[in-house]
A and B are shown apart, each in its own frame.
Chain A
Amino acid sequence: MCGLLGKSANGTANAMLATKRTISLRQRFVTRVSVVKNSVPVVCLFLCLIFPALSHASRDIPADPFESVMWKLMVERHFPGGEVVFDSRVKVSAPKSAENQFHVPITVDATELSDVEEIVAVADLNPIAHILTVRPKKSLSFVGFRVKLQQATPIHVGVRTSDGVWHMGGAYIDAAGGGCTAPAMAHGMNNWMKTLGKTRASTRRESPLSARMTIRMRHPMDTGLAAGIPAFFMNQITVQDAAGETVAELDLYEPVSENPTITIKPKVGQVEETLSVLARDTEGNEFGFPLTVPAVAAQ
């Protein structure tokens, strides 16, 4: 750990936060975390000499405002490495009670954070917890999606910034049971495979510098937990701009609802721009289509 601290910027940030945490440990939400990079060597020296045992100790994990019984396991598995802090800038919108446990809409808005590298969403009490991971490259730190819930559960969303810190937000959703273990609606039709990947999509401009893009692709998103139906789901979506640069990468997992409906907010210029969406499922089927963002309307 100490060796690592000397090498990596992420590590140094972690060390700083470790000292800070002793003060804020009992706080449920840390509203502001500042990182002072030039004090790194001193911190390292201090930690290495005085607390060699601590260097291998696990991270201190703040208490969970949603009091999830799975919280520590979720952090270990899905939010590894850096410091974990609850942060009110990670806004998770979800219904208090799910109208339909197969399609529960969740929106994550972390646009107030900068240097976001990764957004990871989990449903703690789902048999498969990991819902999705988004890496916004040329897009705002925002994602909307729908999820299947097996029972009432806390949702945790970790937003990792480039300093390695996991900024956490979440919600608690009450739900009727069975969202993950029932067969997909598609299987009521015997030709469902024919429509695999068929897409409805829309883009509109939200600001001179960003757009809102929603795509809905036909896919059963089988979890493998319904009797006799193996796991089969859309697991990768990549959005690129006209120059081939990545706008956003999404890794989807089993809990994402049938016919995945995803909203992201690409950063764009003021002129018309055509983005391309490439999706792939666990069977290697690939789907791709272009989406055009209109130019800023003339005043």
Chain B
Amino acid sequence: MQRKIWLALASSLSVGAVAFAGSANADVGIADIMGDQSTTEDIVSYGLGPRAQRYSPLATIDKSNIKNLFPVWSFSFGGEKQRGQESQPLIKDGVMYVTGSYSRMWAIDIATGEELWQYDARLPEGILPCCDVVNRGAAILGDKVFFGTLDAKIVALDKDTGKVVWRKTIGDYEAGYSYTAAPLIVPTEKHGPLILTGNSGGEFGVIGEVQARNPETGEMVWSRPTIEGNMGTLMGAESTMTGTKNESWPGDMWKNGGGATWLGGTYDPDTKLAYFGTGNPAPWNSYLRAGDNKWTSARIAIDPEDGEIKWGYQTTPHDGWDYDGVNEFIPFDMEKDGKMVKAGASADRNGFFYILDRTNGEFISASPFVQNITWAKGIDENGKPIFDPDNRPGNPAESADGKKGKSVFAIPSFLGGKNWMPMAYSQSTKHFYIPSNEWGMDIWNEPVTYKKGAAYLGSGFTIKPIFDDYIGSLKAIDPATGDIKWEYKNKAPLWGGVLTTAGGLVFTGTPEGYLKAFDDETGEELWKFQTGTGIVSSPITWEQDGEQYVAIVTGWGGAVPLWGGEVAKVVSYLNQGGSVWVFKVPEQLAAR
């Protein structure tokens, strides 16, 4: 009892501290978000800038002094909810805003590592997250922080107190909708800043959608479904249909067609377009949905003013392998053949690294970034995959009993050449750093019909490594040529994001628990630190009081232990954690 009283007293004191800090803290403006990449003292967007290049111009920590990087503090997410921490923290005015699994968020005083507030979403029974209880991060604007919850809601919290300002529904969690990505804040001329969200649930036959809301009130401004035949909305009324009904879908299959926008999006201030990846078509059994199945396994460019799709590009039309191509599309300017191209890059689940013209979606190039790809013989000059019909899992209707089609071994596995974990683009080396995995799968099809809230796959599968000694592979790739410049091999599959800096460093975490730093030109491992549990999140770096900090969220989990098949053996010994680690070079070593 006494202990509880003191705890209560302590918490009331810290609330006082927040109120004080709050009065000194400036609000975040849309210009701060758009300029986030160049302002090193804060991180107010997912990906260190709207283009999500995950590149920091900071060079205080470099190849020569990285050996002196030591932890400052570690903060526990506590309780029994430790698993599955995929979050990237935000930094503003000496406060870290970090989300955790099971739809939680904390504000932490960076100077001391002490909690300022915690928010725990009250989740209903019966939520249906397909691929663990993760959250990937928050957005910040004005005096609010925003994040999505596993029951498919978006919540706005007062950034100084953690109290709910508004909370809105993205989708029906009982039908399989959930939300795990970081929201994206974009400027518009007509509506002011908008907060954009995607959705998750492609395994339950949901309809992928992007929704745009007023960040002040949470009121919906527009919505744009990804599956053709479905209607968008604008200012509360129906706007336009996505595509043309039944152009690339048979019958009513478009009504539960998937295409979930579960990884969020990026924004390019240059083209004023928001880029979203769209997930796998539903069901997985491709014989039930003849056609290209637009816009599944695609990148779409949306005009934030009205939610209209400006262009779309399918990486895996008529997907039959769960090549769930939501992968982030990173705008960057590429010098090719002496010309500067307004390009965008995406490393797809299907194993190919795509360069598109970000102004119009035209195909520029595609090159494999994982080995031994089997599902396609290549990508043709128009950007279409050259399918290998022998390596598409067979039609169950053609089997003797109609219950199971021919099984094939396909590479990459459905968890992808690259999954959710974001790559980084260095403005110093002009290279992309891709966290990838070398694995394949046995996959076969089964009959399936849609039922609300039930898995809608029509497939069976098991994942297998393709090399004895490693699965994870961090690669440096030159986007102009598609050449792989260096590779770091990791025994367990890589499941965390990448960060690169002007200091010539590439950071990423491993399931074995190490945060590692590599030389951006050679791939030489320069530094590592054991955090005590698997890392499946994205590192950040920023400057505070003249010192460069690095932070990483730790906590093993995500889709690999749930879906990994044979691979699960490689990772079954990994222990759960659940914390944030913050590093810097101690003052007494900084000069050396």
> B8–A283 contact, CB under 8 A?
no
- Chain B proximity of A148: nearest CB distance (Å): 14
Given A125-B1, A228-B79, are A283 and B125 also a contact pair (CB < 8 Å)? no
| Known pairs A190-B125, A190-B126; A224 contacts B120 (CB<8 A) | yes
- Given contacts A230-B120, A232-B122, is CB(A283)–CB(B4) below 8 Å? no
Q: Which residues of B contact A129 (CB under 8 A)?
A: 8
How many angstroms from the CA of A230 to the CA of B126 in the assembled complex? 16
Interface residues of B in 1-55 (CB under 8 A from A): 1, 4-5, 8-9, 12
By a CB distance below 8 angstroms, the chain A residues around B9 are 73
List of B residues within 8 angstroms of A230 by Cβ: 120-122
**A-B pair number, CB within 8 angstroms:** 41
Residue in chain B with minimal CB distance to A151: B1
Closest to A124 in B: B5
- Tell me, in angstroms, the Cα distance from A73 to B2 when the chains sit together: 13
Tally of B interface residues using CB under 8 Å: 20
Closest to A230 in B: B120
Complex alpha-carbon distance, A191 and B124, angstroms: 8
Nearest-CB distance from B237 to chain A (Å)? 24
Q: Do residues A284 and B126 form an inter-chain contact, with CB atoms below 8 A?
A: no
Q: Does B272 count as interface, using CB distance less than 8 angstroms?
A: no
**A56 interfacial by beta-carbon distance below 8 Å:** no
Q: A190-B125, A190-B126, A230-B121 are in contact. Are A285 and B167 (CB under 8 A)?
A: yes
Distance between Cα atoms of A128 and B121 in the complex (Å):
20
Query: Would you call B381 an interface residue if the criterion is a C-beta within 8 Å of the partner chain's C-beta atoms?
Result: no
Q: How far is the CA of A232 from the CA of B80 in the complex (A)?
A: 18
**Please, which residue of chain A has its CB at the minimum distance from the CB of B124?**
A193
A191 CA / B165 CA spacing, docked (Å):
25
B90 to chain A, nearest CB (A): 21
The answer to whether A283 touches B167 (Cβ under 8 A) is yes
Mask, A154-193, CB within 8 Å of B = 1, is: 0000000000000000000000000000000000001111
CB neighbours (8 Å) of B165 from chain A are 284
Determine which of A127, A224, A228, A284 lies in contact with B164 in the assembled complex, contact meaning CB atoms within 8 Å.
A284
Q: Are B122 and A127 in contact (CB under 8 A)?
A: no
A258 within 8 A of B: no
How many A residues touch B, CB cutoff 8 Å? 22
- How far apart sit A283 and B153, CA to CA, in the bound complex (Å)? 11
Min Cβ gap A131→B in Å is: 14
Instruction: Assess whether A284 is in contact with B167, with CB atoms less than 8 Å apart.
Output: yes
Contacts of B8 in A (CB 8 A): 127-129
Question: Any chain A CB within 8 A of the CB of B155?
Answer: yes
Name the interface residues of A190-236: CB closer than 8 Å to any CB of B.
Answer: 190-193, 222, 224, 228, 230-232
* Chain B residue nearest in CB terms to A189: B125
Q: Which residue of A lies closest to B102 (CB)?
A: A230
Partner of A222, one of B122, B126, B164: B122
Find out whether the CB atom of B12 lies under 8 angstroms from the CB atom of A77. yes
Cα A260 to Cα B6 in complex, Å, equals 28
From residue B23, how far is it (CB to closest CB) to chain A in Å? Answer: 19
Question: Which B residues touch A192, using CB under 8 A?
Answer: 125
- Shortest CB-to-CB span from A101 to chain B, Å, is 15
CA–CA, A222 and B80, complex, Å:
18
Whether A282 sits at the interface, judged by CB under 8 Å, is yes
Complex contact B126–A283 (CB within 8 A): no
The residue of chain B having its C-beta at the shortest distance from the C-beta of A222 within the complex is B122
Whether the Cβ atoms of A283 and B80 lie closer than 8 Å is no
Q: Which of A127, A231, A282, A284 has the most CB of B within 10 A?
A: A284
Q: Which of B389-428 contact A (CB under 8 A)?
A: none
Residues of B within 8 A of A151 (CB): 1
Closest to A193 in B: B124
Q: Considering the complex of A and B, which 10 residue pairs feature the smallest CB-CB distances, nearest first? A: A230-B120, A284-B167, A232-B122, A284-B164, A193-B124, A127-B4, A190-B125, A284-B166, A283-B122, A283-B167
Report A's interface with B, CB cutoff 8 A. Answer: 70, 73, 77, 125, 127-129, 151, 190-193, 222, 224, 228, 230-232, 282-285
Apart from A231-B120, A232-B122, A284-B165, list 14 A-B contacts with CB within 8 A: A125-B1, A127-B1, A127-B5, A128-B8, A190-B126, A230-B120, A230-B121, A282-B163, A282-B164, A283-B122, A283-B167, A284-B164, A284-B166, A284-B167
27 contacts between A and B (CB under 8 A): A73-B9, A77-B12, A127-B8, A128-B8, A129-B8, A151-B1, A190-B125, A190-B126, A191-B125, A192-B125, A222-B122, A224-B120, A228-B79, A228-B80, A230-B120, A230-B121, A230-B122, A282-B122, A282-B163, A282-B164, A283-B121, A283-B164, A283-B167, A284-B164, A284-B165, A284-B166, A285-B167
